[in-house]
Amino acid sequence: MSTPSDKALVPFVSVDNMMRLVHHIGVEDVLRDLAAYIEADFHRWELFDKTPRVASHSDVGVIELMPTSDGEAYGFKYVNGHPKNTSEGLQTVTAFGLLADVYTGYPVLLTEMTILTALRTAATSAMVAKHLAPKGSTTMAMIGNGAQSEFQSLAMKAICGVDTIRLYDKDRAATEKCAANLAGTGLKTVICTSPEQAIEGAHILTTCTADKQNATILSDNMVGAGVHINAIGGDCPGKTELASGILERSDVFVEFPPQTRVEGEIQQMSEDFKITEFWKVLTGQTPGRTSERQITLFDSVGFAIEDFSALRYVRDKVKDTPYHYDLDLLADPDDPRDLFGMLTRAKT
Amino acid sequence: MSTPSDKALVPFVSVDNMMRLVHHIGVEDVLRDLAAYIEADFHRWELFDKTPRVASHSDVGVIELMPTSDGEAYGFKYVNGHPKNTSEGLQTVTAFGLLADVYTGYPVLLTEMTILTALRTAATSAMVAKHLAPKGSTTMAMIGNGAQSEFQSLAMKAICGVDTIRLYDKDRAATEKCAANLAGTGLKTVICTSPEQAIEGAHILTTCTADKQNATILSDNMVGAGVHINAIGGDCPGKTELASGILERSDVFVEFPPQTRVEGEIQQMSEDFKITEFWKVLTGQTPGRTSERQITLFDSVGFAIEDFSALRYVRDKVKDTPYHYDLDLLADPDDPRDLFGMLTRAKT
C-alpha cells in the first residue's frame, strides 16, 4: 500500500501533547500569547464570517459546532455542555477543533480543545480586563472555583498584573483545590467564606459558577463603584449569575451581540438594552472605561473567533515541536478521479 | 503521566483502515449494508433533528458542516467542495465525520469520510432506484465517469440487479479508467462516444459530472418514457445537469426539500415546483412509481442523515476489527473540576 501524500495527512495534537506543548512554552506565556492572538483577531473583527453557534439540544445537554473564517483559514470547534456529567465523573464540557485552508478546503490541524478552551477563555477575560479594569487593579474576587478558576487567576496575573485572588465557592472543597493549585504560582490566595467577603477590596470581580439556572451570585447591593466585572458563567439560555440591577448600573461589553442576547447575562434585559461590542473599543470606535467610578462589565459567553485565534496559535507553535503526529484523515489518490482505483489497489 | 480513561479515548478510522474494513467486509456487501442502514433511517425520518448544511463559501470553493441527530446519537460531517482542486492534483471533495453520544456529549467515533461518502452516495442512489426504477432494470447509462462512477455502478449491481453499464464521459480517459476499474466485478461495460449512445436501451440514467455550471448533460428530447433518472451531479447552487423540460415531464423525488431547492436540479424551477420527499415513499404515505411509462427522477444532493447512517454503520462494524485505533482527544481529569490540576501534574 502506498503511503499517503503530505496533503492527506493532518497534524493532530492530543490532550497529552497539548499539555506537553503548554509546559514547553510555559502556562503564563501561553496565556499572554493567546491574549495577543485573540486581540489581533478582535482588531480585524469585521472581516470574519460570523454565525451564531449551531446547537443540537437534548433534555440533558447541548452539542454545538462553532465555525468561523477570516477568508484564509477556516476553523470550527465541537463542544458539548452537559451539566449533569460532573455527577457521573465526566467533564461538563469537552471540545476539539479543526483548522482548514480556505483555498483548498483541506484540514491543516486537528486538536483537543478542552484544555485549549480553558486557556482561551481565561486569555480573553484578561485581555478585556486589561482594557476595561481600573488602572492598578491588583486584587480579583474569584467566585466559583471550578475548572476555569485557576486559568482565570493566572491569566489575570500574566496579562493584568493581578497579585491577589480572593476565592469563594459554595463548595469549600473546590476553593481548597483552587488554592492548592495556585500555590507556587506567585499569586496570593485568600480563602473566603461568602461572596461578600470575596469581593472586599477587589478591583476585578470574576463570576464563574456552574449551575444551570438563573442564579444571583452577585446581588445589586454587593457591587460598588469603580470595579470591573468579568461575568463568565452566564453562558447559555436560562443560566445567569448577576442581579439585573447590576447590569443597569454597568457599561456592558460583549463579544457577538446576536449570541450574547440569547446566552449571556443580558438575556435578562430587554432586546434594546444598551451594550457595546468590545472589538470597537480595541479599534477606537467606542470608548472603554471613561471614569474611575464606572462599573464595566464583560458579559462573556465565548465566541468562535476566540477559538479560531487559539487554533491559529497552536498551528503556529506546534509545528517546530514534537508535540503532534499525523493522522491519515483524507483520501488522496494519485489521480483525484480514481478514488475507486485507490480503494481497489489497497486490497493487494 | 496517567493514562487517559476509556471515555476520553475516541476510536479513529483512518483512510487506510477504512479501505481495509471495506475489503474485510467486501465492497458490494458494504454497499448493501449501507443501503439498509440508510433505508432504516429514512423510515424514521421525522424524528431526526434536520437542518440545512452550514456552509462557508469562498471564491474557489465551500467548506460545510452537516450535523444531525436522532436523539440518541449525534453526527456531523466536515466536507469541502473545491472544483479547481483537481487541476492541482487534489481531491475536489474530502470529508471526515464524527459520531457522538447525545446523553454525554462525548464523541464515540472519528472517521475519514471521503471514501465513506462515495460509498453512501452510491448506496443511497441504488436504494432509491430499487424503489423507483422500472421492474427488471438491468442496464444503466453512467454519464460522467469520475470518482463516483464505479461506486454508482457497483451499488446498482449489488442492490438493483443491474448487469450492464453504458459509460460516457467527455474525457475518454475517464471512461477508460472506469471500465478498467469495473473489469472483473461481473459488470458488463460498454464504452460510448456520446450521451445519446450511452442512454440507448438504458433503464436507469445516472448523471454525475463535475463542472460547476448550469450544463445540459441530458436534453429534453434524449429522455424517453419509462426510465429512472438518478441525478447526482447537480448538487450546489449554479450547478445543474438536466434540461428543465425533463424535470417537467418527470415525477421528482428529493431528500430534504429546503436543501434541494437551493442545491439540486430543481433550483431551475419555481419555488412551488411539485416534488415528493422520498422518505414518504418508504413509509407508504406517497406512491413511488405508478406506471411503466412514468419518468421517475431522484434529484440527489446528499443529506446529513445519509452520513449519519454511514457513521452508525462504521461504528457498528469496526468495533470487533483491528481497523481502528484510539485518539487521546478528550481531556478527562479524575476530578472534572480539576482540569488545571491535571495540566499541572502532567509537568512532572
Instruction: Kindly report, residue by residue over B1-19, the tens digit of the pLDDT.
Output: 445 567 779 999 999 999 9
Cβ contacts (< 8 Å) between B4 and chain A: which residues?
15-16
Alpha carbon A249 to chain centroid, angstroms: 26
Q: Is A25 on the interface with B (CB under 8 A)?
A: no
User: Is A336's CB within 8 Å of B1's CB?
Assistant: no
Closest chain B residue to A146 measured between Cα atoms? B337
Mean pLDDT of A14-40: 97
Cell of A92: 461538563
Whole-number pLDDT of residue B91: 84
User: Is B65's CB within 8 Å of A82's CB?
Assistant: no
Q: Is B2 on the interface with A (CB under 8 A)?
A: no
Q: Which residue out of A235, A251, A299, A307 is catalytically annotated?
A: A235
Q: Is A106 on the interface with B (CB under 8 A)?
A: yes
Mean pLDDT of A46-65: 89
H helix runs in A26-148, sequence order: 27-43, 114-132
Please give the Cα distance from A174 to A182 (Å, whole number): 12
Instruction: Kindly report, residue by residue over A113-147, the tens digit of the pLDDT.
Output: 999 999 999 999 999 999 999 999 999 999 999 99
Closest chain A residue to B95 measured between Cα atoms? A330
Could you tell me the CATH superfamily of domain A126-302?
NAD(P)-binding Rossmann-like Domain (3.40.50.720)
- pLDDT band at residue A229 using 50, 70 and 90 as cut-offs: very high
Please give the Cα distance from A309 to A121 (Å, whole number): 11
Cβ contacts (< 8 Å) between B71 and chain A: which residues?
58
Closest chain B residue to A326 measured between Cα atoms? B14
Whole-number pLDDT of residue A3: 56
Among the CATH numbers 1.10.287.70, 3.30.1780.10, 3.40.710.10, 3.40.50.970, which is that of A6-115+305-345?
A: 3.30.1780.10
**Residue in B14, B104, B343 closest to A328 by CB:** B14
Whole-number pLDDT of residue A334: 82
Cβ contacts (< 8 Å) between B96 and chain A: which residues?
107, 329-330
Percent helix, strand, coil in chain B, to 5, is 40, 25, 35
Provide the chain B residues 145-184 that lie in CB contact (below 8 A) with chain A. Answer: 145-147, 149-151, 174, 177, 181
Q: What is the DSSP letter of A319?
A: T
Q: Is A315 on the interface with B (CB under 8 A)?
A: no
Dihedral sign of CA atoms A227, A127, A259, A276 in order: positive
Whole-number pLDDT of residue B237: 79
Picking from A18, A34, A37, the residue whose alpha carbon sits closest to that of residue A110 is: A18
Q: Is B338 on the interface with A (CB under 8 A)?
A: yes
Please give the Cα distance from B298 to B276 (Å, whole number): 10
User: Is A16's CB within 8 Å of B328's CB?
Assistant: yes
Whole-number pLDDT of residue A279: 98
Provide the chain B residues 123-142 that lie in CB contact (below 8 A) with chain A. Answer: none
The radius of gyration of chain B from alpha carbons, rounded to an integer in Å, stands at: 21
User: Is A49's CB within 8 Å of B56's CB?
Assistant: yes
User: Is B16's CB within 8 Å of A328's CB?
Assistant: yes
Q: Residue A21 above 90 pLDDT?
A: yes
User: Is B328's CB within 8 Å of A61's CB?
Assistant: no
For chain B, which residues score pLDDT lower than 70? 1-5, 211-212, 234-235
Dihedral sign of CA atoms B245, B251, B254, B257 in order: positive
Cell of A95: 471540545
Whole-number pLDDT of residue B197: 97
Going from the C-alpha of B118 to that of each of A250, B152, B239, the distances in angstroms are 55, 9, 19
Cβ contacts (< 8 Å) between B74 and chain A: which residues?
56, 63
User: Is B78's CB within 8 Å of A81's CB?
Assistant: no
Dihedral sign of CA atoms B188, B193, B194, B196 in order: negative
Please give the Cα distance from A281 to A305 (Å, whole number): 16
Element (H, E) at A280: helix A278-282
Q: Give yes or no for a contact between B31 and B158, defined as CB atoms under 8 angstroms apart.
A: yes
Lowest-confidence pick of A214-228, A301-315, B134-148, B205-219 = B205-219
User: Is A58's CB within 8 Å of B71's CB?
Assistant: yes
- pLDDT band at residue A1 using 50, 70 and 90 as cut-offs: very low
Whole-number pLDDT of residue B8: 79
On the 0-12 / 13-18 / 19+ scale of CB atoms within 10 A, A98 is: buried
**Residue in B71, B96, B102 closest to A329 by CB:** B96
Q: What is the CATH number of domain B126-303?
A: 3.40.50.720
B126-303 has the same fold as B6-115+305-345: no
Percent helix, strand, coil in chain A, to 5, is 40, 25, 35
Cβ contacts below 8 Å, chain A against chain B, sum to 249
Whole-number pLDDT of residue A177: 97
Instruction: Kindly report, residue by residue over A174-188, the tens digit of the pLDDT.
Output: 999 999 999 999 999
Closest chain B residue to A49 measured between Cα atoms? B56
- Candidates A6, A12, A57, A104: best to mutate against B (most CBs of B within 10 A) is A104
Whole-number pLDDT of residue B4: 57
Q: Could you confirm whether A235 is annotated as catalytic?
A: yes
Extents of the domains making up chain B: 6-115+305-345, 126-303
Picking from A51, A81, A75, A79, the residue whose alpha carbon sits closest to that of residue A65 is: A79
User: Is A89's CB within 8 Å of B330's CB?
Assistant: no
Mean pLDDT of A264-275: 94
Predicted-complex ipTM score: 0.91
- Candidates A62, A74, A337: best to mutate against B (most CBs of B within 10 A) is A337
